[in-house]
Amino acid sequence: MTQNDLANSRLTAATLSEALPYLQRYGRETVVIKYGGHAMVDDTLAKAFARDVVLLKHLGVNPVIVHGGGPQIGRLLDRLGIQSEFRDGLRVTDDATMEAVEMVLSGPINKSIVRALNAAGGRAIGLSGSDGNLMRVRRAQKLRRDPDSQIEQVIDLGYVGEPDHIDASVLNVLMDPKSDLIPVIAPVGVGEDGRRYNVNADTAAGAIATALGAKRLLLLTDITGVLDKAGHLIRQLDSRDIAGLIEDGTVRDGMIPKLETASQAVKSGVGGAVILDGRAQHALLMELFTEHGAGTIVF
């Protein structure tokens, strides 16, 4: 063994030793991970993510994955010639769009994540929020204040749902310690009218984290976290300050549902919500098992 090899071995041993208190903190705890963005479409990052999730499971953590698929849905809509529109970071969903959403989310994306986890040595199982009535939803109603008149207007998002009830018993069966399964959930819910609804993956992950009493909700995105107006990372964020950041334009577009989800989850009992960079390898492990973590934590 060379001196360099010896130094690397000592560094690895020291890192494992320093991780002990964090391993104890998260042992037997549930961590809900919203998986999406570049981390899903980059093959190297996807394999690293799968290995990290399987490692979490072997370390005694209970990971639950809720995935998105916006870019893949967008590409299919383009091929089908279906125009897509976003309002306040949410995709407006008509019948044709919903058909494409479910086809992509519950089909190739969900199954590719399951295969990656299984290939990394885990035992993953894919399901949709509509399976077993896991996620019952109500039709989403969003309000937008007109900047000129200051009158609030209702935004029609079509078949976009907001979680109304999560049947945690469905996941508890899968997460029984004897089963060692890792649930992978596509964010498609069912309304009282029996129709399927497109649910923002961040929002779905937050609702599932709340229902499971998760220790952490981790929202992977394509930036380092929440940035201030100067572009600097905000490492800690009080949930009470989020509305102001949205109102003054610091937070815009797809970051809005992420922060709204993080805030609601924390207020509902989730131990903490973190928005972190899914483009960084091992971001999950850095957040959970190191002193400084990664990204922006909402408390």
Task: Please state, rounded to an integer, the average pLDDT across all residues of the chain.
Answer: 88
CA atoms within 13 A of residue 124's CA, in its CB half-sphere: 27
Class of domain 31-292: alpha beta
Q: Rg for the chain (alpha carbons), in Å? A: 19
Q: Please state, in angstroms and rounded to a whole number, the distance separating the CA atoms of residues 266 and 216.
A: 9
Residue type, 126: G
Are the C-beta atoms of 188 and 102 separated by less than 8 Å? yes
Domain boundaries, the chain: 31-292
Q: Which residues, 6+ apart, have CB-to-CB distance to 23 below 8 Å?
A: 59, 60, 289
Are the C-beta atoms of 293 and 287 separated by less than 8 Å? yes
**pLDDT for the residue numbered 91:** 81
Q: Please state, in angstroms and rounded to a whole number, the distance separating the CA atoms of residues 278 and 105.
A: 19
DSSP H/E element including 116: helix 110-119
Are the C-beta atoms of 268 and 210 separated by less than 8 Å? yes
Q: How far is CA 239 from CA 259, 261, 268, 270, 297, in A?
A: 8, 10, 12, 12, 10
Select the highest-mean-pLDDT range: 57-66, 71-80, 250-259. Answer: 57-66
Q: Please state, in angstroms and rounded to a whole number, the distance separating the CA atoms of residues 193 and 177.
A: 35
Chain segment 139-198, per-residue pLDDT in tens: 987 766 666 666 666 677 889 999 999 999 999 999 887 788 999 999 999 999 999 999
pLDDT at 299 over 70: yes
Q: Is 281 exposed, middle or buried (0-12, 13-18, 19+ CB in 10 A)?
A: middle
Are the C-beta atoms of 69 and 109 separated by less than 8 Å? yes
Q: How far is CA 183 from CA 63, 64, 67, 247, 276, in A?
A: 8, 5, 11, 36, 21
Q: Please state, in angstroms and rounded to a whole number, the distance separating the CA atoms of residues 74 and 85.
A: 10
Q: Give the predicted TM-score (pTM) of the model.
A: 0.88
Higher pLDDT, 236 or 87: 236
pLDDT at 240 over 80: yes
Chain segment 52-72, per-residue pLDDT in tens: 999 999 999 999 999 998 888
Are the C-beta atoms of 196 and 130 separated by less than 8 Å? yes
Strands ordered across the beta sheet of 196-198: 161-166, 135-139, 188-191, 196-198
